[in-house]
Amino acid sequence: MSPLWPKTVYASLFPGRRGLQLGRSAAPRWSEYAPRPAPFDLLAELHALLTEHAGQWRPGSRLVLTVSDSLAALAPLAWQPALQTPAEVEAYAQACFEQQGQPLDGEWVQHSDFRHHGRLGLAYALRRGWMAELPALCQAHGLRLRTVLPLSAAVYHRAPCAPGEGKRLLLLGDASRSTALLYDHAGLIGYDVEPAAGDAQAATTRLLRRLAALHGAIEQVATWSAATDDASSGAGQIVANLPGAVVQALTPSEWQ
């Protein structure tokens, strides 16, 4: 057994594209695939990804799994100072899901959190059936499941706030949607999603224009897309819709 084998493996699953990273400092290895007919089969795609890279980690290594937001239910939570217990937060999140026309039943595992005082929180849920079967699938490949999170939730929990008095936009994309998480110096102040509907570039433009109308000037933009390895792609489109913004690449290390 090589001492250089990673102790933690990072896997990412998105529509049409999946990636594996052998250790936090390693470069992700991305591959494209033809998605199976809807609905997306997370277990089958993870099995295929781990089989493709079998034998490249020590037995018992941890697996950190990030999945497309399209596999989850997500809802921003307006700050509520009256909420005192985790049960109250979860009940409030359930009401927020219902308000956006997405009521959750017992088939979902839900989690909600307010990361920063006085700022937006985020609720997310994944299918209970997947969650129940993931540990055994990982064990069959010599791995121990550490976490599984939709992309927006992973970014929400780890990404830094905006420096100074400006705003920082985290722009995330995959084949199914464009997602925006907007921060000021104290935390999340905006969360918005635009479905791709077959045209990811047009979806991003609609999202950026909506953000500009609602929030005014945005000084910094960090962007990442599961659809491409080119970190600079889309910079011109961003600046055209958010004049004066400084655009940089968002790296997976910001949410791992």
pLDDT in tens, 64-86: 999 999 999 999 999 999 999 99
Q: Is CATH 3.30.70 the classification given to domain 8-68+128-151?
A: no
| Rounded percentage of the chain residues whose pLDDT exceeds 70 | 95
Asked if pLDDT for residue 4 goes beyond 80, the answer is no
Tokens of 162: 């905006």
Asked if pLDDT for residue 1 goes beyond 60, the answer is no
pLDDT at 231: 60
8 A C-beta contact, residue 39 and residue 127 = no
Asked if pLDDT for residue 98 goes beyond 60, the answer is yes
Q: How far apart are CA 131 and CA 135, in angstroms?
A: 8
Asked if pLDDT for residue 181 goes beyond 70, the answer is yes
Asked if pLDDT for residue 159 goes beyond 70, the answer is yes
pTM for the full model?
0.90
Domain assignments of the chain as residue spans, ordered by start:
8-68+128-151, 70-124, 160-254
pLDDT at 171: 95
- Do 8-68+128-151 and 160-254 have matching folds? yes
pLDDT at 25: 74
Asked if pLDDT for residue 133 goes beyond 70, the answer is yes
Q: How far apart are CA 135 and CA 155, in angstroms?
A: 23
Q: Model confidence at 2, in pLDDT bands (50, 70, 90)?
A: low
What's the pLDDT tens digit per position in 28-65? 788 787 766 666 788 999 999 999 999 999 999 999 99
Q: Identify the helix (H) or strand (E) that includes residue 99.
A: helix 86-99
Q: Is CATH 3.30.420.40 the classification given to domain 160-254?
A: yes
| Range 140-146 average pLDDT | 97
Nearest to 14, CA basis, from 154, 111, 207: 154
Q: Model confidence at 16, in pLDDT bands (50, 70, 90)?
A: confident
Nearest to 174, CA basis, from 200, 155, 152: 200
| Range 10-34 average pLDDT | 85
